[in-house]
Structure 1
Amino acid sequence: MEMGASLGREAGLQRQRDMIATVRGAASDGVRFVVLPESALGSWTPTVARLWTGASGDTDATVIVGAVMVDPKGYDNVLVAIDRRRGRILYRERMPVPGSMWQPWRSWFGENGGARADFFANPVVSIGAGRAAPLICYEQLIVWPVLQSMLHDPDFIIAVGNGWWTDGTSIVPIQRAVTTAWAKLFAKSLVTAFNT
């Protein structure tokens, strides 16, 4: 998916409808699961949840899509699973990028903000009849999240990213190469979705 810098920043109704149409088009071809990149939904709110579940209509497809959940203390970078019955948080990122996202020192000075790191949470998630090792962006490049997930013997790896800001660099190709290497090393299937 190529949506550039607008992905996650432009969350208007028309953008949501366009993504829903893309998902419904894939579902009409018999696809049961559609994966969209990190940050694709923008903020995960009750309104966005109702829009997506209501628009799912009679399809049997489940969408796995990146979003953020914001509260007064900071935010979580998440993967959401949406089908015609409900939308739910599937995964909370274990290791956001230190500095630009994860800023634990803010609390030392009485400040709020930054992404939360859920280091030991949710190393595998259920998707359909399978179990997946979810990896959001930076997690694909470091050892801990992958090894923690592999200890739970998932059926496959699902890797998402939002790399529009890396245009002109080799960061996204490196992420793809690394996730492919992880999948081969542990003999797992790999599903990816990157915005470039």
Structure 2
Amino acid sequence: MRREVMMIAVLVPLAVVVGTIGWSGQALLLPAATFFPLLWARSPTRIAAALVAAGYFLAASRGLPSGVAQFFAVDLWAGLSFWVAAASSFVAVHAALWTARSGSAKARRYLLILALNGLPPLGITGWAHPLTAAGILFPGWGWWGLLALTAGLIGLVTRIGPAIAITLSGLWLWSAASGTNQILLEGWRGVDLEMGASLGRDRSLERQRHLIAFVREAAGSGAAVVVLPESALGFWTPTLERLWREELLGADVTVIAGAAVIEANGYDNVMVAIDGGGGRVLYHERMPVPVSMWRPWERWTGETGGARANLLANPVVEVAGRKIAPLICYEQLVLWPILQSMLYRPDAIVLIGNGWWTTGGNIVAIQRASAKAWSALFGVPLVISFNS
């Protein structure tokens, strides 16, 4: 019993360190997360495994409590409650599938954990997935790199775990020495804005003209496609479409921007594409933020107003002669949306977000780091546009 307590006292703080470093918002530090399976595998009991998983996940998602408090304008206790609730499925899976058996039995169980936390339905809250580091350790390897890291993570929970850890450390050092640069797409420009909570809520003509001015400035410097953040346009209406179409008439530029389309029982969080010929809804978000946007229980309670989850719909879309993998905000924190899109071999990843509510935290930095890692893994250019 005393030995078990001592092991917990060592493993849990190490899990916190791994979660803190790996999910600091720096792409080159993502491989730290790959050492979590080694700690989980060394847990002496099921309770210890749950505590190790909790330490890792809570450290990785440490920006959530303050972000929730800012978004809902509530006290920090509500944010802390949401933080703990978000960790529940991650912890439950790691506790339920823990086994004292070694070898292939533990390896098979960890493979199942990777799948459950990466794919719906549990993958809907599958943040901090260690496979995100594949692009840093195996840049340009594509699906083979993902397979290689999967094998490495499974190996970490077996008797040869320490040897695998040394190998991954060597790859990490090599990656840090060589660096990982963001791959850019020529002629495409992502515009970062600093409009806070007003973006998408200020629906005045003056705000739209400010956004159009940003587009004209980017187009004047050679951009053929300009990307604006999530919610930039507010509600997408025929009147708004006409305004933008008239303003872009004669300009050789296409705009991709975030907006909301009102539905009978809620709304769709979307990307729209606009040029001088008109505008259209380009992409419907597959996975809005649970609770704050996506509230699936509304269909049973009779409430309305939440965002619709399109789950496996439209993984790639075509715009300006390119096939792109679109990701809006929350989709950048979980595994399956980007992997689903990559099955279709897109020409670029286009990532938009509205992170005003994360001020003082590192959630946006984690989103950027994750996207950079996936871009590096598949060798696909990346275009990013965020509002803060």
Which TM-score applies when normalising by structure 1? 0.97
Aligned counterpart for 2:264 among listed residues 72, 75, 82 = 72
Larger CA deviation: 158-167 vs 108-117: 108-117
How much has 1:188 moved relative to structure 2? 0.8
1:83 corresponds to 2:83 = no
1:22 corresponds to 2:214 = yes
Q: Match of 1:105?
A: 297
Q: Match of 1:176?
A: 368
Alpha-carbon distance between aligned partners in 2 of 1:28 and 1:163, rounded to the nearest angstrom? 27
Kindly provide the CA deviation profile for residues 136-168 of structure 1, in whole angstroms up to 9, marking residues without a partner as x.
000011111111100111011000000011000
Map 1:35-46; keep pairs closer than 5 Å: 35-46=227-238
Alpha-carbon distance between aligned partners in 2 of 1:112 and 1:57, rounded to the nearest angstrom? 38
The residue type paired with residue 15 of structure 1 is R
State the aligned residue count.
Answer: 196
Instruction: Give the % identical residues.
Output: 60
Alpha-carbon distance between aligned partners in 2 of 1:170 and 1:158, rounded to the nearest angstrom? 20
Alpha-carbon distance between aligned partners in 2 of 1:48 and 1:24, rounded to the nearest angstrom? 17
Q: Is the contact made by 2:201 and 2:234 (CA closer than 8 Å) also made in structure 1?
A: yes
Q: Match of 2:329?
A: 137
Higher strand share: 1
Q: Is the contact made by 1:155 and 1:189 (CA closer than 8 Å) also made in structure 2?
A: yes
Q: Is the contact made by 1:135 and 1:158 (CA closer than 8 Å) also made in structure 2?
A: yes
Structure 2: runs of 5 or more not aligned: 1-192
Which TM-score applies when normalising by structure 2? 0.50
Q: Is the contact made by 1:158 and 1:192 (CA closer than 8 Å) also made in structure 2?
A: yes
Alpha-carbon distance between aligned partners in 2 of 1:59 and 1:88, rounded to the nearest angstrom? 17
1:5 corresponds to 2:209 = no
- Runs of 4+ that moved beyond 6 A: none
Instruction: For residue 261 of structure 2, give the secondary structure of its aligned residue in structure 1.
Output: strand
Q: Match of 1:146?
A: 338
Alpha-carbon distance between aligned partners in 2 of 1:178 and 1:36, rounded to the nearest angstrom? 20
Structure 1: runs of 5 or more not aligned: none
Q: Match of 1:185?
A: 377
| Higher Cα radius of gyration | 2
Alpha-carbon distance between aligned partners in 2 of 1:136 and 1:108, rounded to the nearest angstrom? 27
Alpha-carbon distance between aligned partners in 1 of 2:378 and 2:305, rounded to the nearest angstrom? 36
CA RMSD after TM alignment: 0.9
Instruction: For residue 122 of structure 1, give the secondary structure of its aligned residue in structure 2.
Output: coil
Alpha-carbon distance between aligned partners in 2 of 1:157 and 1:26, rounded to the nearest angstrom? 19
The residue type paired with residue 212 of structure 2 is I
Alpha-carbon distance between aligned partners in 1 of 2:214 and 2:331, rounded to the nearest angstrom? 27
Alpha-carbon distance between aligned partners in 2 of 1:157 and 1:30, rounded to the nearest angstrom? 20
Kindly provide the CA deviation profile for residues 112-138 of structure 1, in whole angstroms up to 9, marking residues without a partner as x.
220001111110011212110000000
Kindly provide the CA deviation profile for residues 79-129 of structure 1, in whole angstroms up to 9, marking residues without a partner as x.
000000010000000000111111010111222220001111110011212
The residue type paired with residue 375 of structure 2 is A
